[in-house]
């Protein structure tokens, strides 16, 4: 029975209605709602969407401009740093060279001072040695002279008390002694 009903309805509907085309009232209501939705989108949603995209675009462009400016500043800072580093290296080289020259001068002055001090000490030592040698020579001469006088007095059998004569005898004895030393 259901089958007969469906077949009857299908035969009736085929003559009156095409299943691929909707009914006229469906077309009218669909078109009306399409126009309403299109108007809402066109006048309300699209301007907001466009405004939002413009704001984002402006923000992105602003950030890109800021990034470009920051990059330029970073490059300028890098160039300045490089320049300052080169200047510092040059200045350090100059300071090192000046320090070397000053060090050489100080060493040369210290050597000169040490040489002068050594020469002064050497001269003082030579003077002192010469003075001590003269003192020793005079002391030795007096002792040798006294011994010579004692020996001469023992040989002659009398004491030589005359100072001028005794000094002459001692001087002649020492001169003979020095002459014999020089002949060797």
Taking only the tens place, the pLDDT of each residue in 103-148 is: 999 999 999 999 999 999 999 999 999 999 889 888 887 787 777 7
Taking only the tens place, the pLDDT of each residue in 136-168 is: 888 887 787 777 777 766 766 556 566 666 677
For residue 141, which of 107, 179, 175, 98 has the smallest C-alpha distance? 175
Tokens of 25: 């009232």
- Tell me, yes or no, if the pTM score tops 0.95: no
Angle, helices 163-183 vs 46-156, to 10°: value is: 120
Taking only the tens place, the pLDDT of each residue in 12-27 is: 555 566 778 888 898 8
* CA within 13 Å, CB half, 134: 5
- Asked if 141 and 178 count as a contact pair (C-beta separation under 8 A), the reply is no
Question: Distances from the Cα of 183 to the Cαs of 17, 176, 178, 179, 180, in angstroms?
Answer: 170, 11, 9, 6, 5
């Amino acid at each position: 029975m259901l089958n007969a009903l469906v077949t009857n309805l299908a035969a009736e509907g085929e003559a009156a209605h095409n299943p691929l085309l909707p009914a006229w009232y469906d077309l009218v209501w669909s078109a009306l709602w399409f126009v309403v939705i299109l108007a809402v989108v066109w006048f309300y949603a699209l301007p907001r969407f466009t405004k939002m995209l413009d704001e984002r675009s402006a923000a992105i462009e602003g950030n890109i401009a800021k990034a470009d400016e920051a990059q330029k500043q970073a490059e300028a800072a890098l160039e300045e740093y490089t320049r300052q580093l080169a200047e510092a290296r040059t200045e350090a080289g100059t300071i090192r060279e000046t320090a070397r020259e000053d060090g050489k001068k100080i060493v040369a002055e210290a050597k000169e001072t040490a040489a002068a001090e050594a020469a002064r000490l050497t001269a003082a030592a030579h003077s002192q040695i010469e003075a001590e040698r003269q003192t020793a020579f005079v002391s030795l001469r007096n002792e040798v002279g006294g011994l010579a006088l004692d020996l001469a007095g023992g040989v002659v059998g009398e004491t030589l008390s005359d100072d001028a004569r005794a000094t002459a005898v001692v001087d002649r004895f020492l001169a003979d002694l020095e002459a014999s030393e020089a002949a060797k």
